[in-house]
A and B are shown apart, each in its own frame.
Chain A
Amino acid sequence: MASLLHKEYEVVRDDYSRAGKVSSDIKRTLSAVGISPAVLRRIAVASYESEINMIIHAWGGKIMLDVMEDGTIQIVFKDPGPGIADLEKALTPGWSTASEKARNMGFGAGMGLPNIKRVSDEFDIQSSEAGTTLTLGFREKT
């Protein structure tokens, strides 16, 4: 399926001062193409938690946004490692390996991935030592 809108962003490891900038831009971009506030909020929450994870747990990475022909919104978060050793644990509410620094930022409660999964319509996570790829899909509820 063709993509009507495509955007790519770089996220830098440990760059706390800019954390959230990408999600902010994604929210603004999608607002401008007329996505409804309720869907927009789900997307923003999932995107922000995922962006933060790339900064605090991974070595930075890439975020790719696509608005498809059928109105589906897809966001892919791809990082180069170190990967998630136990995905089941990572998806358990409250489970976290976050550093002191991440906790001081207000993250590290272990609620990110469970919340991302809850607010997205499609959720796929693949992880190995070569990195983690999180693919999220959203659509307007009819």
Chain B
Amino acid sequence: MQAREIAAALHAEPLHIWNEHLLTKDYTAAFATDLMSDALAMIQTSPEDTVLITGLCNSQVLRTAEMLDIELIIFVRGKMLGEEAMEIAREMGFNIYRTDYTMYTACGILYSLGLRGING
């Protein structure tokens, strides 16, 4: 599923677009968690093709994505990143969106459109 299709399905608002070219890139899986250790342990194959969906809104999410080479992050429940975290976001290569949907609903919408979890 393309990044722009994901954003449209979630009525998501871009917080930071690093690379316009990636908006038409196909993402093959998604992983949703508020626990960064889970993301660090579970996302083992092709993180660059995996979308990270989270309700945790701080710089540790960005650091986690940086370590894993994740490019696309969606914040749920309409959360905002603080100024400090936004500064880190601008330094690093991410496309970041926020949606008003809750975690469950956001995941349900994407799953119903064919975006599967990391284990198929």
Contact = CB atoms under 8 A, between A and B. Distances in A.
The answer to whether A and B interact is yes
Interface of A: 17, 19-20, 23-24, 27, 37, 41, 44-45, 47-49, 105-112, 114-115, 118
B16 interface: no
Nearest to B48: A37
Nearest to A49: B40
B37 A107 contact: yes
Contacts of B56: 106
Contacts of A17: 59, 84
Given A17-B84, A106-B35, A107-B36, A41 B63 contact: no
A41 B84 contact: no
Contacts of A24: 63, 66-67
B47 A109 contact: no
B10 to A, nearest CB: 21
Interface of B: 34-38, 40-41, 47, 56, 58-61, 63-64, 66-69, 84
Main secondary structure of the interface of A (DSSP, over half): helix
A75 B36 CA distance: 22
B67 A48 contact: yes
Contacts of A37: 69
Contacts of B59: 17, 19-20
A105 B60 contact: yes
A46 B35 CA distance: 16
B91 to A, nearest CB: 9
Given A44-B67, A48-B67, A108-B37, 6 more contacts: A20-B59, A37-B69, A45-B68, A106-B56, A106-B64, A115-B40
B68 A23 contact: no
Nearest to A18: B59
A44 B60 contact: no
A48 to B, nearest CB: 5
